[in-house]
Amino acid sequence: MSTSGNAVLKLKGIEAGYGRIQALMGIDLEVHEGQIVTLLGANGAGKSTTLKTISGLVRARAGSVEFMGEDITGKNAHQIARSGLVHVPEGRHILRGLSVKENLELGAFTVSDAKLRQTRMQEVFDLFPILGKRQHQDGSLLSGGEQQMLAMGRALMHGPKLLLLDEPSMGLAPKLVLETMRIVKRLNEAGTTILLVEQNARLALRLAHYGYVLESGAIRMKDEAARLQADKSIVQAYLGE
Ligand SMILES: Nc1ncnc2c1ncn2[C@@H]1O[C@H](COP(=O)(O)OP(=O)(O)OP(=O)(O)O)[C@@H](O)[C@H]1O
Ligand SMILES: [Mg+2]
């Protein structure tokens, strides 16, 4: 039996790094069902490494990752995606030479039911009408904002229980940043639990239920998002705003 209550995701003492660089010094973090949790911190703090360690792209050197009560530490990225934990990495990683539709189909490699794949694709097109209109166009020819939508759409094709989003608004015009945040909120309201890394701390805290502040690979602060948001000194000291 799981002892994690309604924690969908539970990190305990996670250490990870690259060669001689230790990027994470022992991260404890929980995401509860139905929440949006945001992970904030300056450039190089270890936000992306945390997400990569959760999704199996980077191997944990110590500690454990539990997803829906199951220990997934050391599992490979495909196995983890199959279990419903889906990562939208930094940058968009849209495959050149493949149409929008083919990019979406690629996202559904975990879904064997063809009918379900079709339903999901229709849901993605409802959420992002532009992707429906451009479905036969090469995905790499979409604008930056559209490619971000495609990257999120591809993740949704898996039907994720937990979505890891790494800076979904990166490089987008202000209007599209707000649109992206609205979509994140909608996905959450539709039942997807979300761990969100976002450069715009104020925006992320407005959206999230709970927040963690990462500094040099360690959690420096964690609290209800509203409380973190209210404390201007925290935002200034840890996020350099
Ligand atoms: N592939 C890699 N090889 C070596 N070092 C890396 C690699 N990726 C990240 N690092 C280092 O690990 C540390 C954490 O990086 P990470 O990408 O997790 O930070 P981040 O918080 O996501 O930063 P940003 O806001 O710039 O995206 C940094 O010191 C970074 O230089
Ligand atoms: Mg990053």
Q: Render pLDDT for 184-212 as a digit per residue (tens, 0 to 9).
A: 999 999 899 999 998 888 899 999 999 99
Boundaries of domain holding 222: 7-90+163-239
* CATH, residue 229: 3.40.50.300
Rounded distance from Cα 1 to ligand 2 centre (Å): 34
Rounded distance from Cα 189 to ligand 2 centre (Å): 26
Is 50 exceeded by the pLDDT of residue 4?
no
Domain membership of residue 21 (yes or no) is yes
User: Does the beta carbon of 41 sit less than 6 angstroms from any atom of ligand 1?
Assistant: yes
pTM over 0.85: yes
Q: Which atom of ligand 1 is nearest to 52's Cα?
A: 18
Q: Find all residues with CB under 8 Å of 43, minimum gap 6, and list them.
A: none
Q: What single DSSP character describes residue 140?
A: G
Would you give the distance in Å from CA 18 to the centre of its chain?
21
Give the ligand with the smallest distance to the CA of 216. 1
Task: Label residue 235 by pLDDT band (50, 70, 90).
Answer: low
User: Does the beta carbon of 20 sit less than 6 angstroms from any atom of ligand 1?
Assistant: no
Domain membership of residue 155 (yes or no) is no
Q: Where do runs of H (alpha helix) occur along the chain?
A: 47-55, 77-82, 100-107, 114-127, 129-133, 144-156, 174-189, 201-207, 225-230, 232-239
Q: Which atom of ligand 1 is nearest to 167's Cα?
A: 27
Tokens of 120: 């999901």
- The structural domain count of the chain equals 1
Domain membership of residue 132 (yes or no) is no
Q: Using one digit for the tens of pLDDT, what is the confidence trace for 31-47? A: 999 999 999 998 999 99
Residue nearest to atom 17 of ligand 1 (CA): 48
Domain membership of residue 217 (yes or no) is yes
Rounded distance from Cα 111 to ligand 1 centre (Å): 32
Domain membership of residue 220 (yes or no) is yes
Q: How far apart are CA 34 and CA 13, in angstroms?
A: 24
Domain membership of residue 204 (yes or no) is yes
Give the ligand with the smallest distance to the CA of 45. 1
Tokens of 84: 């419903």
Domain membership of residue 110 (yes or no) is no
Domain membership of residue 167 (yes or no) is yes
Rounded distance from Cα 194 to ligand 1 centre (Å): 21
Rounded distance from Cα 52 to ligand 1 centre (Å): 11
Residue nearest to atom 7 of ligand 1 (CA): 18
3-state secondary structure of 46: coil
User: Does the beta carbon of 200 sit less than 6 angstroms from any atom of ligand 1?
Assistant: no
Tokens of 7: 């924690």
User: Does the beta carbon of 47 sit less than 6 angstroms from any atom of ligand 1?
Assistant: yes
Q: Using one digit for the tens of pLDDT, what is the confidence trace for 111-125? A: 888 899 999 999 999
Greater confidence, 66 or 6?
A: 66
Rounded distance from Cα 88 to ligand 1 centre (Å): 16
